[in-house]
Amino acid sequence: MKNQWSRLVCAVPLIAIVTSAHAQNAEHVAKMLGISELVRNARLMHTHTPCESAATVEELSAREDILETVIATSLEVDGVLAELDNERAHLSELSAILQAQRDRSVNLTNVANLITGTGLGIAVNAMQFSSSTANVGNGLGVASGIGSTVLSIIGIRRQAGPHRSVGRIPNMLAPLFGRQAQLNSYYPEPVLGYLRSIPPGQSPDVGSRLDQLMSEWRQAGRLGPSGSPINDKKVTRLTSSLDDKTKLSIDDLSDRMAMLADVSGRVALMKRDLAELMRTGHSERTCAQHGTNVVPENDWSELTASMEKMHVTSNTVSVIDPSNNKLLGVIRLGDPVPGALSPLYRGELLVHGLGYSPDSRTLAVVSVGSNSVTLIETATTQALVYVPGAVPNGPGTDNLSPLGESGNTVRLLLHAGGTVLPDAQASVAVNSLGLLDLVQIAAKGLAPTSEYQVYLAESDHAPFGKLEPLTILKTNPDGAGIVQAIGPLKTLADRTGGSTSLPSRRFLVTELKNASQVVLR
């Protein structure tokens, strides 16, 4: 095998399915609820149950415990959302009352100003016809001007509206600011832990969900600098309840309602993650025998046109179609755990690495537990050679050559394509996978919960030339999204047979139903 392999990864898979953001969120919630181990055991028992057999009592018991925890947490989330909506409803009613009082007061001031300015103005002009009344008219004119000025100042001051205490209502913002909660204003531990945790896949520098909310509120001007006397007074007004001495203005009520809506949005996302946790609880069960496929051999096409993912505990290699994420089949190299842990077991153990031969006709599968390599013919998916003790000594890199092109990564930055979404931006990373290329796009500043089409274009300026559709980018409620696609990007980038440098084509992101509306380029 000397100098025969251009890449062979023993520690991590060279080609693997990346866990989706939804699955990461589900794992995150399971860890917070303290049921991660329970979920893993349930999945493992489901995977190892024969297809012709019903679920075991242990599996049903584990799933019942998971379901009870998820339902209880979901009901707690509903309770928090109900209290938030209840407080917002009271504040909205109070705001409407104060706005009506303000409008009536301002209207009366405008009428008085009109009478003072117009009525006295007519009298002043009438007195100018006689010299005996001219001086009196001049005095009335001065008085009319002073009165109009005073009434205008009063009208301006009354634009802010009256101030009033909120009375007997919840104060759901109080626990988030460390203030005294009143009535039913509390967050169950799972919900509060969710807000105080860092979302999966995000850098610790951005802070927890609650830290991100605080930052957004400061940027919007709803909060002042942390620790300042002005901010402390504002927080007191935003968290007040059962306090007749603390008066709120219409602007305070608007800020408080907007902040409650933001908290509701963050808390509601926990229900989405709970639903995803229930979906991921059912691991896909494979019924293949040792060394065989779960689908007919003629349905596989070639292994090189698919993606392979190792299963460490089941000692299998899954073949997945990257165009639709469909499972094409499973190559079983050994027995699943815990059967594989028997001292009498002689099969593959801890399948943990993949690598192609230079001609992509052979796939090498590394098993770190049994310290062996299995060579699989990609055209037939049959194991060819079993090499025990593949690396008896040393790091096992003596006969490996550099990765070459496959070790290169192209990184690009996409900017806003127009004025509709001026804050839109995205980073693009393109990695070579041999015959295929992996492109990963992380975008932000787009419209919330929307879908966009990603193209490979001939130019980033109109007209863009021929567009090659790559994938669809879906954004979350914050207007951010991550998507990846696998395909022959170098071939798409150069149709003429010349240089295969990827920058000869450009990435373009448009609205899904209107390709002319470019949002990123």
- Model confidence pLDDT, tens digit, residues 81-124: 999 999 999 999 999 999 998 888 888 877 777 777 676 667 66
Q: In which residue are the tokens 């954004």 written?
A: 475
291 vs 326: which has the higher pLDDT? 326
Burial of 260 (0-12, 13-18, 19+ CB in 10 A): buried
Confidence band of 384 (pLDDT split at 50, 70, 90): low
Under a CB-based contact definition with an 8 Å cutoff, are residues 214 and 225 in contact? no
Burial of 275 (0-12, 13-18, 19+ CB in 10 A): middle
> Residue 299: its pLDDT value, please?
40
> Residue 386: its pLDDT value, please?
52
Residues in the chain: 521
Q: Which of 93-97, 109-113, 381-385, 390-394 has the lowest mean pLDDT?
A: 381-385
> Residue 286: its pLDDT value, please?
47
> Residue 265: its pLDDT value, please?
94
Determine the average pLDDT of the residues in 372-389.
66
When mean pLDDT is compared over 62-76, 97-111, 267-281, the highest value belongs to 62-76
What the block records as the tokens of 292 is 């065989």
Under a CB-based contact definition with an 8 Å cutoff, are residues 407 and 431 in contact? no
Supply the DSSP string of 186-227, one letter for each residue: ---HHHHHHHTSPPTTS-GGG--HHHHHHHHHHHTTSS-STT
- Cα–Cα distance, 291 to 381 (Å, whole number): 9
Confidence band of 489 (pLDDT split at 50, 70, 90): low
Q: What is the CATH number of domain 1-18+288-401?
A: 2.40.10.480
DSSP, collapsed to helix, strand or coil, labels residue 467 as strand
Determine the average pLDDT of the residues in 427-445.
78
Q: Which helix (H) or strand (E) holds 64?
A: helix 57-114
Q: What is the pTM of this model?
A: 0.49
- Cα–Cα distance, 305 to 202 (Å, whole number): 32
Ranges of each domain in the chain: 1-18+288-401, 74-278, 405-520
Residues facing 24 on adjacent strands: none
437 vs 50: which has the higher pLDDT? 437
> Residue 518: its pLDDT value, please?
84
Quick check: 177 pLDDT over 90? yes
CATH superfamily of 405-520: Superoxide dismutase, copper/zinc binding domain (2.60.40.200)
Quick check: 309 pLDDT over 70? no
Residues facing 457 on adjacent strands: 467, 506
Are domains 1-18+288-401 and 405-520 of this chain identical in fold?
A: no
Quick check: 14 pLDDT over 50? no
DSSP, collapsed to helix, strand or coil, labels residue 84 as helix
